[in-house]
Amino acid sequence: MGGGDRRVEPHVELLTAGWTSHPGLVARRGGGRRPVRFPALVAVVHHPDGVILFDTGYAPRVQRAVGRGIDRVYGALLPVHVTQGETAVEQLARRGIAAEDVTTIVLSHLHADHLGGLRDFPAARIVVDPRAVTAMRGSSGLGRLSRGWLPALLPDDVVDRVLDPTSLPAVEADLAPLGEVTPAHALVADGSVVVVPLPGHSDEHLGLLVRTPVGELLLLGDAVWHLRAVTHGDLPHPVVRLITRDWAGYRRTVVDLARLARRRPDLLLLPSHDEDAIAHVQGLLAAS
């Protein structure tokens, strides 16, 4: 990654802020009907310019939101499990990081397991497509349910805090074929943290590329739910099309990620809901 004169390698921590469950086949075809845990990953990037979060996980307000009206359907399909002490803001506090210390939050997309804790960080700028935020705030009824949106989770001042990722400086990142279609944008001046569009699961979907002491880490969000989608072509069961905004775009992104993985075996790829992959990368980061 280019940019800046100093080579900065931010320290990264991976937290799990609650979880939900799906049949295994939702993550990958052949996964069976037995429910498996989908952890709500939060990546904490400790950079000299401030603390950056990739997603915010669940919070108890999500449980309250899915207990009312049509949103109860969402809660029935995606049961929310988060207990006291598990939220991102509480876990950061135990590490001596106050909510106000978080300067930037990159949202992979606007589903509850990724933005549930957003209201807990009132000082952070929010990197997300502003058009998606506008659409979410104006959504209602079945339209809202079909997109998996819970507008009550958005802070009241969200519009004032949103930072359009395309307004960030474009940078060269060694991510071809991804970079050939979706240009990367530097979140920090030294180029150590880069926002990467990964469309398909949702229109606004973003990944985050971080230069770490153990190599470059590409946080995938829900671009795939299981790493085997990239490494072995194990796509989810076709029923997942019902909760995927652009199935053709989703498949293109998976194919591009697979090509990238073959070309760059050194690159760490991490989906947000793959427990084994999270544990593996946590071990590498802890040992660095």
Range with lowest mean pLDDT among 78-82, 90-94, 97-101, 213-217: 78-82
pLDDT tier at 25 (50, 70, 90 boundaries)?
Answer: low
Which residues neighbour 51 within 8 Å (Cβ) at sequence distance 6 or greater? Answer: 44, 45, 92, 97, 101, 102, 103, 104
Q: What is the pLDDT of residue 78?
A: 83
Please, is 33 exposed, middle or buried when counting C-beta atoms within 10 Å of its C-beta (0-12, 13-18, 19+)?
exposed
Percent of the chain past pLDDT 90, that is, above it, reads: 71
Structure tokens of 33? 């009907």
Tokens for 40?
């709500």
The reported pLDDT for the residue numbered 143 is 86
Phi, psi values for residue 242, rounded to 5°: -65, -25
- Domain ranges in the chain are 11-287
pLDDT: is 220 or 202 the higher one? 220
The answer, yes or no, to whether residue 213 has pLDDT greater than 90, is yes
* Calpha distance 98→288 (Å, rounded): 25
Q: What is the mean pLDDT of residues 207-223?
A: 96
Whether the Cβ atoms of residue 105 and residue 89 lie closer than 8 Å to each other: no
Segments in the chain forming alpha helices (H): 24-27, 60-65, 71-77, 88-94, 112-115, 130-137, 141-147, 158-161, 178-181, 228-231, 247-263, 275-287
What is the structure's pLDDT at 30? 66
CA dihedral sign of residues 52, 57, 61, 66: positive
C-alpha–C-alpha distance, residues 196 and 171, integer Å: 10
On average, the pLDDT of the chain sits at: 91
pTM above 0.75, yes or no: yes
Predicted confidence (pLDDT) at residue 182 exceeds the cutoff of 80: no
- Closest by CA to 57, choosing from 44, 73, 84, 39, is 39
The CATH architecture assigned to 11-287 reads 4-Layer Sandwich (3.60)
pLDDT average, residue stretch 107-128:
97
Asked if residues 105 and 126 have their Cβ atoms less than 8 Å apart, the reply is yes
pLDDT tier for residue 4 given thresholds of 50, 70 and 90: very low
